[in-house]
Every structure is written in C-alpha cells, then in structure tokens.
Amino acid sequence: MKRRWGWLAGAVVLLAASVSVVVWGTPFIGSWSAKTRDVVEAFSWVFAIGTPVVAVAVWAGQGIRGPRRKPPGLSGRALHLVSGALPTPRHTTLGQLRVKRAIASPSGADRHAPPHLPRDLEHALDEQLRRGGAVLLHGPAAAGKTRTAAEALRRVFPDRPLLIPADGPRLRELAELDLVPGDCVVFLDDLERFLVPGGLDLALLQRLDPAVVVLATLRDDELARFTQASRLAAGEPAAGGIPLAAADLLDQITDERRIPVARELTDGERERARQLARRDRRIAQALAAREGFAEYLAAGTAMVARWTVGEGPLFQVGSALITAAVECRRAGVQEPLPLELLAALAREFVDPAWRDRGDLPPAGEAAAWASRPVLQASSCLQPYRDGTLMAMDYLVDHADRGGPPGHGREVPDAVWDAVLDDPAPDRAYAVGVTAYLRGRRDVAERAFRAAAEDGHLAGMTAFGVLCHHDERAGEAEKWWQEAAARGHTSAMVNLGVVHDKRAERETALAWWHRAAGLGDPEAVYRLGCVDEEAGNAAAAEERFRAAAEHGEPRAFSRLGELYRRAGRLDEALGMFRESFRLGQPFAAFCVAFVHEEKDELREAAKWFAIAAELKTPHARTRLATVLLKLGEESRAEAAFREAAEDGDGEALAWLAGQADDDAEADRLYREAAEKGFRSAMTITAIRLFARGDATGAEHWYRTAAVDGEPAAMAALGSLLHTSGRYTEAEKWYRRVIEAQLEAEPRAAGLEDLVMGGCVVNLSKILRRRGKQAESEAVLRRGAAAGLPVAMTHLAAQLVKDRQKTEAKEWYTRAAEAGEVDALVVLGELALEEDDPAAAEKWFTLAAAQSDVDALVNLAVFRRYAGDTEGMKEFLRLAADLGDPDAMVELGRAADAEQDESQAELWYTRAAEHGDVPAMSLLARRALARNDPDRAMSWFTRAAEAGSAEAAYDCGNILLGQEKPAEAALWWKRAAAGGNLLATTNLGVWLEKQGDVAAAVKLYQHAARGGQPEAMLALSSYELGRENLGEAIKWAEQASLQRHTRAFAHTAGLYALVGDVAQAAEWYQLAAAIGDPAGEQGLALLRRAVAAASAEAPGPQP
C-alpha cells in the first residue's frame, strides 16, 4: 500500500525544527511564530499534488487498475509510440532513449553498443525509483548519465508505459489533457530542455498522478545555473522576475534523490570494466584512456580534437562554426540555430590569417564537416531536419571548464549581439537569464528589455527586478504595472509584496484584492493571512475558504488549524484531509494529530504511518509512541528504527538506549549527527573524509572538537596536518595529549591508536621545525604511557640516532604490546647483527599474525637452508594473502623444477593481482613457445596497466607480423611513457614515412636520454646533411654507450674527413669488441693508405 514520496524527503526534513513544536509543544500552526509559519507554508505549498481519487484508493490499500486503454492525443506530443500507445522500456532502443552512440558503434543498433558497465550508484538509484516521485541523475557531460538512466528504466520498470515528451510545452499539454497514465514512467533526458516557459514547472509536476515516476538527467553546469538562479532571487520583492519555476522544482528533489554520476570510475567499477573488456575491446581502450571512461566511449576528447586540432580552409571554417554554436549555447540559447546566423558569427572565430582568404569553403560544406560523426559516435554539431544546428553538450562543458580554443574566456560581445539581434521573446528572456547568471547585467538588462517590449510577461517582471536592484523603483513598478494591466496576476501579487514591505498595507491590499478578483488563489490566501494577523478569524476563514475553492492547498491547512483551535475537530479533520488530497504531505500528520487528540489511536496510527511514508518529520517516531500506547511493542520498535534511519533524534536516543550491539549503536549515532550527537559528528566526519569531502569532514570534526570530543580533536589535528596547517594542527594535538595522557594507559584499541597518532604527528611537526629534543620528548611521553605506535616511532628515531640498544628495548616493548611492525623490524635488526636465529624467531611471531613481509623473509630463510618445500610453504601463505611478489617467487621455483604448468599458474595469479612484471614475463614465455597472440594479449594488459616497456614489446610483435603502422601506435604510447627504444623505433618509422623533421625530434629526445640507437640515427642524419662534425659527435656518444656498430661507424666518419690515425684507432676498438666491421675497416684503410703512398710522386732532381 506504500506510495513512494521519498523525493520530497529532504525538503520536509528542513521543517524539522518548526515541526518539533507540533510534536512536543504547542501543537498547531496558529501558535507558531510568523517566521516559522511562513517556512512551513512555503514548503507545504510546493507539495501540492492532485489526483484525489488515486490518493484515497492507494492509501486504503486498493490500487486495482482496470484494463489500460490507449490514451488519445499522444501523437505529436509523446515520442516513439507503438501503434499509437506508449512504449515500454523493454521495447525501447538505447537510441530512442537518447543514449549517444559510442565510438565505432553503428547507428541504431543496440547490440553494437558497448555492454553496460554497472555503476556503484545503481543500488541507490533503483531504490529511489521504486519509491516513486522524481529522481535526478546529474553530472558532467559524457559521464554516462543517459545510459545509466536507460538501463535503470529497463531494469526497474521494464514493462511500465514509458512517456518521452517531445518537449516541455508538449508535456504540459499531455498533463492538462490528462493523457499521462498513472502507472507510467516519464523520462526527461537533459531536463533543461523541458524547463522552459510554458513547459515543466513545480505546479505541473504536482498535477501528475502521485504514482507517476519521473526520471531526469541534467548536466552539472545546468544544475548549478538553476541553483544560482534560486540564490540570486532569494528575498526578491518579485519572485517571478527571476526564472524560479525551474529552480523551485529542482529544490524539491532532495539530496538523496539527486544522484551524481561521476566521470571517474571507482575501484569497483574499474574491476567490473576489466571483466567487460574481455567482451568488448572498446571497454579496454576506455579504461586506459587518459580522458576518462565514459568520456572516451562518447568520443568526447575526439570531438574536442575535431574542433581544435587541424589545418586547412575546411578546418578553419568548420572549427569556427563549432565555436559559434558553442558560444551561443553558453549565451543561453538552448535551441538549434540557422546556419546563416552561425556562419555570420563564425567569421569572428576564424584565424585572422585565414579570415580574408579566397579559398575558404562555403558554410554548408563546413557545417557538413562539423556534423560528421567522430569515431562513428557523436558529432560536434548536431544537425536537425530544418537545417538548423546545435553544439553538443560535451563541447559546451569543455568550454565552460576553460578548455581550448577559448581557454576560459567570457562569452564574447559579438555572440550576445548575434543572439539578441531581433530575437523571439522566449529567446531574449532565456539569454537574459544566462547573462544575469554570468554577471553580464548589461546584457541581461538589454535582453529582458527586449523580451518585455515584445510583450513577454516574465520578461517584464525580470526587467523590473533588475530595475529594482538598481534602485530604479519607479521603472521597476512601471513594468510590473504594465504586466499587471495585461492580466498578469503574479505581477499584481508582487506589487502587493513590494508595497507591504514599505508598510503601505492599503496599497498592497489593493493589488492583492485586484489579483484575487481575477481568481489568483495566492492573492486570496494572502488576504486571509492579513485577516488572521488582525485577529479576524471569521474573515480569515472566509478568505481561506475562497482560496481553497480556487485550489490553493495552503488554505485548507489554515482552515483546519482555525477549526482545531476552535475545538471543531471533525471539521478540522475534513480540511486537513482535503489539504492532503491536494498534495500537502504535512496535512497527513495533522490528520493523525487530531485523531490522537480525539483518542482515536488506531486512526492516529494509520495516519501517522501515512505521514511517515511521506517523510514528514517526527511522524514515524510519533507513530511508534502511539503503537507503544496500543501495546504493540515489536511494531513500535520497528517504527523507531525506521525513524532513526530518517535521522530522528528522539528515535535515535531510544534505540541507542536499547541497542546491545556496538556496531548498531554506532550506526544510530552516525545518523544523529545532524541532531547534535557529539560522537555521531565524529563518525559522520570520518565517512565524509572517506568520500573525499575534506571540507565537510573538517566542519563536523571541528564542531565535535569544540564541544570537547577527544577523537574529533585528534582527527581534526590530522586533517589540518595533512593540509599543511601545522600551527593549528599542533594546537589540537596538544589538547588531546594534555587531556588524555594523564589517565592510566589503556589496552590497545581505538583510543590508543588515536592517542598514538597524535603523539607521532606532533613529534613530526616539532622535528620539521628543528625542535628535535622536544620531538623526542613527546615520543617518550607517549611511549611511557604505553602507546605502541609511539614506542615504534621512538625506536625508529633512536636507530637513526645510532642508539640501537635502547631502540631494541622499545621495539621489544611495542612487540609485546602487539605491534606487528615492531616484530618485523626486530627481525631485520637481528639480521643486521648476524643473528639469524633471533631474526627467524621475530619473523615467525609476525608471520603468526599474517604479516606478508615476515612470511617472505621466512621463505628466504628456508631457501638458504636448502629447504625448498619449506620455502614454498611460506610463499604460498604470503600468496594466499594476496602478495604478488610471493606468487612470482613460486613461479620461479616451479621454473627451477621445470614444472611449466605450475610456473604458468603462479605467474598468472600474480598477473591477475595486477603485477605488471608478471604480465610481461608471461608474454615472454609465450613468445618462447612461439605463441605471439598470447604474448600480445599479456603485453597489452601490461601496457594498459602503465608499462611502457610492454607497449614497446607490443609494437615489436606487430612489426614482426608486418604491421608497421599498428606497431607505430604502440611505440608512440610507449614513447609517451618514457621508453627510449620505442621513441627511436617510432622515429625510424616516421623517417620511412617521409616525416624526417618529426623523426629527428624523436631521435634527439631519445639521444638526450642516453639511447645509443638514436645517437647513431642522428649521426646518419647529420652525415646525410654533410654536417660531419655533428655526425662524428653523435657517433662517438653512441660508442661511449658501448653500441657495437657505433665504433666502426665513427671510424668511417673519421676516414671521410681524412683523419686516418683516428679512423684506425676506432676500427681497432671495433675489432676489440668483436665487430667484424672493425677488422674489415682496418684492412680497407691499410690498403687505401698503401695505394695512396704508391701513387705519391717521388723526389725531383
């Protein structure tokens, strides 16, 4: 019977402080302060959701649906219909769900999409979807949001009707025509496309059946834009002046239902990806890509390269067109634009050296180039059937992140001018909003003025807001009055607010009366609030009734409270029930409270349960209290537990007092951090820090530390220490030590670890400042207090200071206190003192505690003792603990025993544990067996794990297979990793391709790194240029690196310049190292000298 309204939870939680008055003090709205009442009303207003019949049926445990009929009027408003009916996720393709094609993925073929990589977030996503309501996936472009959403729809709701609206206005039409089935899922990819004037807003969302699930995706920059809009407009006298409809809607999607999709993979996701890589090579390539996994698959970096890297006239014009389209989107135009506009603007972005050339291609040809898919995936410009074009999201994000070609520049004035050149009112308004948020008030004013002058009512209001900001009250009110004169009741209400803040109540009332006369329920409601403030309950009741008749849900709640205070409990129940029917979740709590007042505990429990399902603060705890009154202790405990999961402080306190399990108590206190539980703050901080949120962790550590929590003081000191704030860290370490070391030493545990960390870290700070004596004194104080960590660090310092005798004493004490590292160090010290028996004793004690280093050391002992089986036993124990070095050693032992299968097994296990040398070793073994394919597989894995040498070997295998172009790709990768042989080979390949300049640069780089082949190649290059001095220099350097061929090559160069003595010396050196060319060169040189002597003329008489 559960209706999932969890997406409203976060907003409701914000009411906790106010609602606590309801639960524990004076019970209802009328007794609250005006500020508190406004907060509650503000949040209750945004929860107005219709569908009364469904609400009652579901809560009554009914929910049987009749046969589904094809709703008329879907065509043209909903996409991908099947025989006029909505499709299901199971029968909808990824392409129809707007999943961008991956690299080398043929269009329209789901089976050619890469296999889905399960993300860590999917459990939370599925849970939120099953709870119903609206769920938002947000993240940077090309992070995989749409694919994640599509797979979730297929996984969670494979057979529910799927509504993909054509756009925001079409979604509104469907809702207004009651064409959105109550059991459907609405998918809104790129939510900003629907948050347009006349499109989706909070009121429209509230009109949908509560059973409808809405799943949306949104880029982080768009989410930030709407959030910023909300903040900028906070407290405005005219809320309608800033585009708050979208911001209001997003505000109601709570944090737990805003699920971030990161571009970077977690460790778990990378492991799953490695498994998938066996099925699809693109996954393997994406894992190794520098730009990021999803980004690579979406060809994000390749699109940027298409945009920013190239030559020639087609590139110049095409790149400029892309830039123009990107900048237009950055200026707020989220619609495709005509080629003519983009072409005119693109001239601003063509390189000045090319701008006036006569060989530039026409804009249509450049647009076709820019619209061509990159790596068979996305294109930089997305073409539409009407010939318009729009830049891809990823490029917009790239530009906003400061990437080339703009490198973080502001939107140029030429772009603002272009998009505001006779714009449609909606576009002018959208551009104005963006300009306002980008800090271009001048452009915003121009855009809003254009929209206002074209009769755009929101534009009038927005322009009025800017005037109000500039203290141009007269001009602001003029535009609001003009909008009001044209029947814009929100403008009337806003004028009333402005006058009310000026204490001009009569004028404010006049505007509200006028808006009320036109049927604006908010105006009627405000008039009722004025009557209530004046103590005129009868008039207020009349206003609230009138507002209620016009659908203002807040009015029903206010009526219910008026009746409750008057003792008219049955009428109060009616009003609260109606308010609930109209979508105010807090009204369920009010219904329950009235039933409890009437001592109708069963009904109270039922409605508190409903309110709890709607995440109303304290409802579940109140339910538990009622259940205890009814004697239902097991259900009460379950309710307390659920309330504790929602962070209810009272429930947490109750459960913490009942918990027998420390872990359960820790969980409860962790949930209680927001409620002020000191120890829970510390644990919350630990969790935040583990997720990488150092700022949030510092906040909670500091809050608890200031309140006197020792663990928080220690953790805060550590956090400050690691961020380089040594002075403040020292202060907190000293506070912990001074407060804790006075007590008797305790057994090893959390407290000892915390204290030991403080002692050691403080000593490090002092030593860093040159205070060695004080540093040692701190360590001695901690060691004397029985802290094992302090003992081991003191001992290590004493070893550095050549005080080994005392150091051994402290290591021994630490070992006796259970410090495993101390046992290992004692063993190493014994080896240094040539006491293998003592060393073996210490290593054995450490090995008994599963210390890998100790096990490996014991294996070494067994090997020296000639006990091969004993050695292997210790190595197996270390291997079972996941040590790849032990696995490799076991493989070598098997090799020594000529047990090929066992050797292969252990090397493979090491490789599977990520040991890169083991991967290369397996590859070389495969080559020895003449199995180049298997060798290539292992070298590839090693290369993808970061081995430049393995990448070099991949290239060599491919070269042996007469695939030099593919080999060059691997050499390029290896060269980027610093492999100089690969750099040289790549240079040779480029030289053969005719790119001598690039080859020489590679030779020079490798030669500077000491690579003799590159030196010899440079020598040959300089010889070809007849630059014999440089040729000899590089040849001699290669010789100094003991390159065999370099000696004879150097000799030949000296022979060319006529230095016979040097030539002979170098030939002799070549012969001495075994190069046949040395003897051959010497023989040729001698014959040449002899011939020259014979031909020389004799003396003349």
Sorting pLDDT into bands at 50, 70 and 90, what band is 798? Answer: confident
73: phi > 0 → left, psi -120 to 50 → alpha, else beta; which?
left
Q: Does the domain spanning 700-801 belong to CATH 1.25.40?
A: yes
* pLDDT score, position 783: 82
Per-residue pLDDT reduced to its tens digit, 125-143: 999 999 888 899 998 877 8
Q: How far apart are CA 1072 and CA 1066, in angstroms?
A: 10
* pLDDT score, position 968: 92
Q: How far apart are CA 939 and CA 163, in angstroms?
A: 48
DSSP structural state of residue 165: B
Tell me which of 213 and 807 has the higher pLDDT.
Answer: 213
What is the topology classification, in CATH, of domain 941-1093?
Answer: 1.25.40
For the entire predicted model, the pTM comes to 0.42
Per-residue pLDDT reduced to its tens digit, 625-634: 899 899 998 8
Pairing relationship of beta strands 389-391 and 381-383 according to DSSP bridges: antiparallel
* Contact by Cβ (8 Å): 712, 685: yes
Segment holding 216, helix H or strand E: strand 213-219
Per-residue pLDDT reduced to its tens digit, 809-842: 888 888 887 788 888 888 888 888 888 888 888 8
Per-residue pLDDT reduced to its tens digit, 297-308: 767 778 888 898
Instruction: State the average pLDDT over residues 29-34.
Output: 35
CA angle 940, 941, 947 (to 5 degrees): 80
Tokens encoding 1057: 């310049």
Establish whether domains 89-292 and 700-801 are of one fold. no
Does residue 750 register a pLDDT over 50?
no
Residue type, 376: Q
* pLDDT score, position 666: 52
Nearest residue to 571 via CA among 602, 548, 552, 550: 548
Sorting pLDDT into bands at 50, 70 and 90, what band is 107? Answer: very low
Nearest residue to 83 via CA among 70, 94, 96, 73: 70
Per-residue pLDDT reduced to its tens digit, 355-384: 888 889 999 999 999 999 887 777 899 898
Residue type, 754: V
**What's the number of CA atoms in the CB half-sphere (13 Å) around residue 568?**
11
Instruction: State the average pLDDT over residues 344-353.
Output: 91
For the ranges 59-68, 401-410, 593-602, 1086-1095, the one whose mean pLDDT is highest: 593-602
Q: How many CB atoms lie within 10 A of CB 708?
A: 11
Instruction: State the average pLDDT over residues 904-916.
Output: 89
Considering only 42-56, 193-207, 525-539, 987-1001, which range has the smallest mean pLDDT? 42-56
Helix pair angle (586-597, 34-45), 10° resolution: 120
Q: 3-state secondary structure string, 400-433?
A: HCCCCCCCCCCCCHHHHHHHCCCCCHHHHHHHHH
* Contact by Cβ (8 Å): 58, 3: yes
Q: Which CATH architecture has domain 89-292?
A: 3-Layer(aba) Sandwich (3.40)
* Contact by Cβ (8 Å): 511, 493: yes
Domain boundaries along the sequence of the chain = 89-292, 299-419, 700-801, 830-881, 941-1093
- As a dihedral over the C-alpha atoms of residue 989, residue 991, residue 993, residue 995, rounded to 10 degrees, the angle is 130
Nearest residue to 858 via CA among 838, 844, 878: 844
Chain mean position to CA 74: 37
Instruction: State the average pLDDT over residues 551-558.
Output: 81
Tell me which of 299 and 599 has the higher pLDDT.
Answer: 599
Sorting pLDDT into bands at 50, 70 and 90, what band is 160? Answer: very high
- The count of residues in the chain is 1101
Nearest residue to 194 via CA among 171, 217, 176: 171
Looking only at Cα atoms, what is the longest distance across the chain? 151
Nearest residue to 645 via CA among 1095, 7, 9, 1: 9
* Contact by Cβ (8 Å): 575, 559: yes
Considering the chain, what is the average pLDDT of its residues?
A: 81
* pLDDT score, position 20: 26
* Contact by Cβ (8 Å): 553, 579: yes
* pLDDT score, position 366: 92
Tell me which of 1031 and 61 has the higher pLDDT.
Answer: 1031
Does residue 228 register a pLDDT over 80?
no
Contacts of 337 (CB under 8 A, 6+ apart): 325, 328, 388, 389, 390
Does residue 647 register a pLDDT over 90?
no
- Across-strand partners of 75? 78
Q: How far apart are CA 205 and CA 133, in angstroms?
A: 9
DSSP structural state of residue 115: P
DSSP for 543-586, please give it.
HHHHHHHTT-HHHHHHHHHHHHHTT-HHHHHHHHHHHHHTT-TH
Contacts of 8 (CB under 8 A, 6+ apart): 47, 133, 252, 254, 585, 614, 615
The percent of residues above 90 in pLDDT, for the chain, comes to: 25
Sorting pLDDT into bands at 50, 70 and 90, what band is 1098? Answer: low
